[in-house]
Amino acid sequence: MMPKVTDFALPPNLPEPADDGAADHLRGMSMPAVSLGSTRGRVVDLSALPAPRTVIYCYPMTGIPGKPLPAGWDLIPGARGCTPQTCGFRDHQEELRQWKADVFGISTQTTEYQREMAERLQLRFEILSDSQFALCVSLDLPTFEVDGMRLLKRLTMIVREGRIEHVFYPVFPPNESAEQVLRWLNANPIPH
Contact 152, 136 (CB under 8 A): yes
Look at residue 168 and tell me if it is in a domain.
Answer: yes
**Residues in the chain, total:** 192
pTM of the predicted protein model: 0.94
Containing structural domain, residue 117: 22-187
Neighbours of 148 (CB within 10 A): 6
CA quadruple 50, 25, 143, 65: dihedral positive or negative?
negative
Average pLDDT, the chain: 94
Domain count, the chain: 1
- 81-123 pLDDT, tens per residue? 999 999 999 999 999 999 999 999 999 999 999 999 999 999 9
Task: Note whether residue 3 is domain-resident.
Answer: no
Q: Is 175 domain-assigned? A: yes
Is residue 39 assigned to a domain?
A: yes
* pLDDT tens column, 19-73: 999 999 999 999 999 999 999 999 999 999 999 999 999 999 998 888 999 999 9
53 to 111, 147, 158, 163: CA distances (angstroms): 24, 35, 7, 10
